[in-house]
Amino acid sequence: MHKFETLDPIVHAPVRLAILTVLISVKSADFTYLKEVTETTDGNLGTHLQKLEDAGYVKVEKSFVGKKPKTTLSITKSGRKAYERYIEGITKYLKI
Partner 1 sequence: MNSTKQNEVNDNLNVIKSMIEKTRTDAEESGSIFILWGWLVIAATILTYFFVYKEWFDRIGYIWFILMSLGVIGMIYIVKKRTKKEKVKSYSSVALTNLWISCGVSFLIISFLGIPLKVVPLESLNIIMAVIAGIGLFTTGGILEWNMLRIGGLIWWVAAIIMMFTHWYFHTLIFAIAIIPGYLVPGYALNRKYKNSQNA
Asked if residues 71 and 60 have their Cβ atoms less than 8 Å apart, the reply is: yes
Per CB under 8 A, the list member of 26, 44, 54, 88 interacting with partner 1 is 26
Angle at 82 between CA 10 and CA 74, to 5 degrees: 85
Per CB under 8 A, the list member of 47, 71, 76, 93 interacting with partner 1 is 93
Asked if residues 30 and 70 have their Cβ atoms less than 8 Å apart, the reply is: yes
> Is 60 among the residues that bind partner 1 (CB under 8 A)?
no
Interface ranges with partner 1 (CB under 8 A): 1, 4, 7, 12, 14, 17-18, 21-22, 25-30, 32-33, 36-38, 65-66, 87, 90, 93-94
